[in-house]
Amino acid sequence: MLSRRNMLIALPAALGFRVVSGSLRAAMTAGGRRVAVVFPPALEPCTEAVEGLRQRLSGSDIALDLLDVTKATYGGDAALEMSLKPAAIVAVGSDAVHAVEAQAAAVKTISTMTLEADRGGATPTAGRVTAAVYLDIPMRTLSAELRKLFPDKTRVGVIRNPRRGGELTKPARGQASDPDPLLIAECATAEELLPVFLAFRKKVDFVVCLPDGSLYNSATARPLIMASLENRLPIVGFSPAFLRAGAAVAIYPDYRGVGQQTADLVRRCLEPGDCSSWETPRKLNVAVNAKVMRMLGIDFNARANPDLVVLR
């Protein structure tokens, strides 16, 4: 049986990628259009996105060169790739984005699998057009998904970190066009998380937790889940891991779909003109933790939502 390490080594070949490495440099060709894909293969969501990218570009004249950003030889591999003048670079994940931005090469760069708040220096620079597919899900979209699943539970609270930028998930405060305005609570530190969460008691039906590594970690997850169960205050998480940990609901991007969406952006960026674009996921996964739902006394109609993922 392959070890996890060997599986990761074998994965690029299994997916049909060309790997930039010393042993394969002679295999590089000048034909077609070549796009460098920089990503961390040990992160499964990023691997899913890269597979979606590959699937969407399969059969085209666009060839993908895979660069492992976590590899000790990444610097040399990246220099080799830049010497071959790729038509574009796709940076998958924040570490890949930072590594690509550190390079001086004037190449069109498309970032994906990052949050808008982590955008940092991902702005157009001389000779480079930057575009992105973010993981952020607009709050209106999150609210709409919750209403479809729980039409009788319309009071939604949101925990938001004011220290993090990003307009894509910034809740709109009491807009007249929204029949059920969101109740927003700001939380700047992990120490504030539990009191802020508990302040929602008897005020909302669900509390939405937006992606934020500074608030949600191994130290804060258990107390937050226990508080949710003890106070019958359901959490809407942002990942499958959050759902398994005890969130009642999770709404998160379809990572393979993000890769396919990124491939469409790559195609546009390989055409003449400015391809600057800041996109959010087109395809989402909505999941519920059936055990937690029972503990909280919440019913859901899986038959009315055929795409719903149910964690038993």
Q: What is the CATH number of the domain that holds 169?
A: 3.40.50.2300
Domain count, the chain: 2
pLDDT tens for each residue of 134-167:
999 999 999 999 999 999 898 999 999 998 865 5
Q: Indicate whether 172 pLDDT > 90.
A: no
Is residue 94 pLDDT above 70, yes or no?
A: yes
- At residue 170, the pLDDT reads 61
Q: Is 232 found in the same domain as 160?
A: yes
Domain range enclosing 96: 4-135+255-282
268 and 242 both lie in a single domain: no
pLDDT given for residue 56 in this prediction: 97
Q: Are residues 268 and 292 in the same domain?
A: no
pLDDT reported for residue 167:
56
**Does 101 lie in the same domain as 151?**
no
CA dist 46 and 37 (Å) reads 11
- How far CA 46 is from CA of 5, 29, 202, 212, in Å, comes to 16, 26, 38, 18
Residue 1 or residue 87, greater confidence: 87
Please tell me the pTM assigned to this model: 0.84
Interval 184-193: pLDDT, tens:
999 999 999 9
The Cα–Cα gap between 283 and 250 comes to 14
The pLDDT mean for the chain works out to 84
Q: What does the buried/exposed string (b/e) look like for 237-258 if buried means 16 or more CB atoms within 10 Å of the residue's CB? A: bbbbebbebbbbbbbbbbbbbb
Above 80 in pLDDT, residue 206? yes
pLDDT > 50? residue 251? yes
pLDDT over 80 at 25, yes or no: no
212 and 229 belong to one structural domain: yes
What are 215-240's pLDDT values in tens digits? 999 999 999 999 999 999 999 999 99
Cα(54)–Cα(73) distance, integer angstroms: 23
